[in-house]
A = this chain, B = another copy of it.
């Protein structure tokens, strides 16, 4: 599944990987911003003239799920389609007390039955404004990278704050083309979001981890939410009309969604550090986390249920990183990258003005990456974010300290424009499982000890001579942070409340805060500032050399991809453009119905009601990446024909390179969704609401 790999413990690392746009586009490549669609390619290759009206309509019907996915309005009363796996975290949060909506599914037959999600925020991109000149203007000649970065950040924070105050809209300044452009994106925010429909996880994620990131697939990975305002369903004028016939083989389709991050044109040195240090450490960390959760889930049914969402997310990450890693270990791919970089640098070197302004950027990045590598383990393992309590405590401690500073001087994540969303997350009433928290925190402490040794300042501070299990038990058992009201009390009480708290989680967070700040600050000063300024130089060199004919790397902002429905060569033969309900039953029977290839009872009993020849999944050559989960697939008429939920195994290397031979996006078919709703879920009313408007 293609949910954004976006864990708290990765936030900072991700923000350090700055991306550089591509030198030349291949067939169907690209995640294009809505201000710069691939109009020429669409016209020449598909005879399709994309209009501003079409773009506005699609953009306003597209929804970003702030916990890491995408979606779209599919009716005029606020109904939003996304993936089951995007909804999974919310499903878990509303489950419990004998209700297991993950395994049993959920269907609200009336609006009154729709179930409010505790901490889901959705965004719709209302406007885009190029603020590059204003951001650039604050950087004066002769400024050091460090000062320039600070000035730039201050200006960005100012722009965001002004916009928030003047429009009331969420306002994010987005750096595109590695700082080649800065855009102010304004979002309409929805925080009253209610669950309408989710099938059983077993059909949404049929085939489980083995089938994850593969094709052919047979997954009904869908969920429906409804956005409310003032207690009433939102009047979503801009919604996508439903086309249950789907798209034919070879037909041009589009994906409108929020790809998380790509490094398509990272410098070679960046890729090498990723390959040799970042990804191996990440894989090790994920495996360790999985093994802790696995042990915990073995404790009983309740424990298994609690651990499910996080394990799923980690397994998903593991397979994704493994795929990326394989890509980086591929010599042919690295040779291709090397050639691209060589050609680009040669082009810059050949023009004295460009060479003078930008020529040193690659070496600057290489030096910064070398430094990053030298302290990467500290960055990674001076952290307790594996535990939600520890993570909340740490955010609260940093919040109290940061909000006192001028906006421009704060750590990323604490700017005024970000505070509302942060508070929404901090005050989430989603349940916390103390036993699981103890297991995770204890192992996280043990991991820091294993990786950094007993003399590391972080380890010494956090353990203070005690053993990890004792610290974890004492912190989790004693903390009041399980109660959202106490978190609110601390935040509202500011520094005084936080500094005076004797809550053991807060005490722990306070003690490690200076140590963590040191490495964060060192990374930002030593690596981040260089990556920003040198990345910007490379971005500008690209504009100077190639013009704005390219798409920027993904930044979890709205993008448009395009490409035909199309099979590909795999396993010595051809993958079909689509799969049907027949295949779902074949794959289940092929494994004698054993998990993860078992089917919900509804499917076994209802088999004869289905037209088995109706497609359930299909593939297209649209260029997507994690974060695109839940994106609508639309045709030329902007009708929805499918729902992105994954990429094939060959697409995993897409973080670094798009290969149109076999990179395919995998989607749920609109026909299959309606067939299941009507024939298996007795949900004709919902199907009617979707189809008949």
Contact = CB atoms under 8 A, between A and B. Distances in A.
Given A249-B592, A582-B589, A583-B582, A571 B573 contact: no
Contacts of A207: 573
A573 B214 contact: yes
Interface of A: 207, 210-214, 216, 249, 319, 323, 567, 570-574, 576-580, 582-583, 585-587, 589-592, 597, 612-613, 615, 648-649
Contacts of A591: 249, 567, 574, 576-577
A612 B570 CA distance: 26
A207 B575 CA distance: 11
Contacts of A570: 571
Contacts of A573: 207, 210-212, 214, 649
Given A571-B649, A579-B590, 6 more contacts: A210-B574, A574-B591, A576-B587, A576-B590, A576-B591, A582-B612
Contacts of A319: 572
13 contacts: A214-B573, A216-B590, A323-B572, A570-B571, A574-B591, A576-B597, A579-B586, A579-B590, A580-B585, A580-B586, A580-B590, A583-B583, A589-B613
Contacts of A249: 591-592
A577 to B, nearest CB: 7
A648 B572 CA distance: 9
A689 B577 CA distance: 42
Contact of A586 (B210, B577, B586, B592): B586
A430 to B, nearest CB: 32
A585 B586 CA distance: 9
A649 B572 contact: yes
Give the 4 A-B residue pairs with the shortest CB-CB distance, closest first: A576-B590, A583-B586, A572-B649, A582-B586
A214 B571 contact: yes
A655 B591 CA distance: 29
Contacts of A648: 572
Contacts of A582: 582-583, 585-586, 589, 612
Contacts of A210: 573-574
Contacts of A583: 582-583, 586-587, 590
The winner among A213, A582, A585, A615 for most chain B CB atoms within 10 A is: A582
